[in-house]
Amino acid sequence: MNLTYHEAILFNSNVGGGSYDIWLYQPFTGRTMKLTQNLGAEFSIPYWSPDAQSFTFIGKNNMVFVFNLNSRTWAQIDQIEPYTLLSWSPDSQYLAYVKSNRIVIYNIYAHTSGSIVQYGVTDVQWFPSGEAFLFAAPDEAGNTQLFKINRDGMNKQQITKNTEGPLHNVRISPNGEFALYTSPGASISLITTVNLSTGVSYQLQGGPQAKNYFPEWSPDSSTIAYSATDIVNNQYVSLIQTDSRVGGQQKTWAVSTCFSTPLSWSPDGKRLAYLSGCNNQEQADEIWVIDLNSPNNPIKIVEAKWITSLQWSPQAHDVEPYKLFLNQIYRVSFYYPQNWRKATEERFEGSDGFFQISAISSEEEIHAVCRAEAFHVLQPYGTNPRIFPALVQAQEACFIFPSEDQPEEMRNQAALIVKYPVPVVIQGNTYSYFILWADQDHLISLVKTLTFI
């Protein structure tokens, strides 16, 4: 499946002095490309989805944008405070973030959201199970603590017993076993890790000035990289350092000419990317990479004014084996679970789901076609189906999801209708729309890989 961008770095820059936008650098080719157009802001930080098919950021007018790398299309989903942490669900279908004392859970495909009210909440993020959240919030005494709560808002548990001020930059480890945070503020910033099952904490030694910023977990959850501010020849620099998650193994790998710099681990955990090129305490205009196996030779990979953030693509995960479905008559292809078996040329089924394809001949606009399907007289989606407009492969589309009273024999059927880029002719008839029926649990993953041929 050629739909991932592993080994790529997203960064925020206003190259040429224009608007800030998100750019992509591919180390294997050395190519740099601009992905957004006048959507970013100086504070924008890109966050990759776990499947590396999308990213999200807070940009212009404090709007949350989601950008799909396959279709090169974007959606605007909410307006929130700058620097709010955005956290992807493990299945890349939901975003979690904080807004107005609530944990918001947003489905980026159905464009629906739910929320959990939590006073003073910050830094919400998913556990790897996808069933719970980690977040920071004040306890009854007003001290900031780490908490765990189920995604349905139930079973809230306090993890820490902090009495020493606010917690910042809370980050859960990729395996969900540890978390880290900085405290107490900006002038003095110390890194502490917490074992989430025992509550035991460890404070890392950090740099010589006690100014440690932008801590990031390694992909294997064993190590933390961070930027440690120091003074050399009366100039601020930042030391690129790492330490074990329980401390005691501090190493300095490189020096950035910036007061502090965000860092990002490569997917294999063998390299670190960081910003440099801050002259007279201005912003960075360089991205450097250091190979931890060859630490004497950091390499400058990007030079562009100005760069404010970066993130390397995520670690590739083993996924359920898929096979390619390709139909020349309906002019589509997509991937489906390989254990599903062919029932007809247009329908495949498995014990856990199914799909079926067809086409619709209609002169109507997309919204009318979608309503006609959703509210068919036989009520295949129940009495109150939900219709959500969408863009698929840059084409007008809609999702149809069933209501709870859908007939059981429909096997949880949902649908996608999308306008063909060019109408197709099948047995002498012209069809303007493609329709994909599938069980609700698999529809989104099928659509993610849909391509017109």
- Beta carbons of 265 and 225 less than 8 angstroms apart: yes
Residues 191 and 298 in one domain: yes
Residues 367 and 290 in one domain: no
- The domain total for the chain is 2
Q: What is the pLDDT of residue 69?
A: 86
Q: Tell me which residue of 172, 177, 186, 108 sits closest to 135, measured CA to CA.
A: 172
DSSP string for residues in 258-319: SS---EEE-TTSSEEEEEE--GGG--EEEEEEEETTSTT--EEEEEEEEEEEEEEPPPP---
**Structural domain contains residue 289:** yes
Give the single-character DSSP code of 446.
H
Reported as a pLDDT band with limits 50, 70 and 90, residue 111 is: confident
Residues 327 and 300 in one domain: no
For 280-317, what is each residue's pLDDT tens digit?
767 899 999 999 998 888 999 999 889 999 999 997 65
Q: Pick from 312, 342, 361: which residue ends a domain?
A: 312
Reported as a pLDDT band with limits 50, 70 and 90, residue 324 is: confident
Residues 289 and 434 in one domain: no
Residue 94 has pLDDT above 60, yes or no: yes
Domain encompassing residue 384? 322-452
Q: Pick from 263, 282, 312: which residue ends a domain?
A: 312
What 3-state DSSP class applies to 45?
coil
Residues 276 and 416 in one domain: no
The CATH number of the domain where 335 resides is what?
Answer: 3.40.1000
Residues 71 and 172 in one domain: yes
Residues 259 and 381 in one domain: no
**Structural domain contains residue 317:** no
**Structural domain contains residue 113:** yes
Residues 97 and 202 in one domain: yes
**Average pLDDT over every residue of 196-209:** 95
Residues 190 and 214 in one domain: yes
Q: What is the pLDDT of residue 6?
A: 58
**Structural domain contains residue 58:** yes
**Structural domain contains residue 415:** yes
Residues 124 and 263 in one domain: yes
**Structural domain contains residue 2:** no
For 145-177, what is each residue's pLDDT tens digit?
999 999 989 999 999 999 988 999 999 999 999
Residues 250 and 364 in one domain: no
For 23-39, what is each residue's pLDDT tens digit?
999 887 888 999 999 99
Q: Pick from 259, 277, 312: which residue ends a domain?
A: 312
The CATH number of the domain where 67 resides is what?
Answer: 2.120.10.30
Residues 340 and 438 in one domain: yes
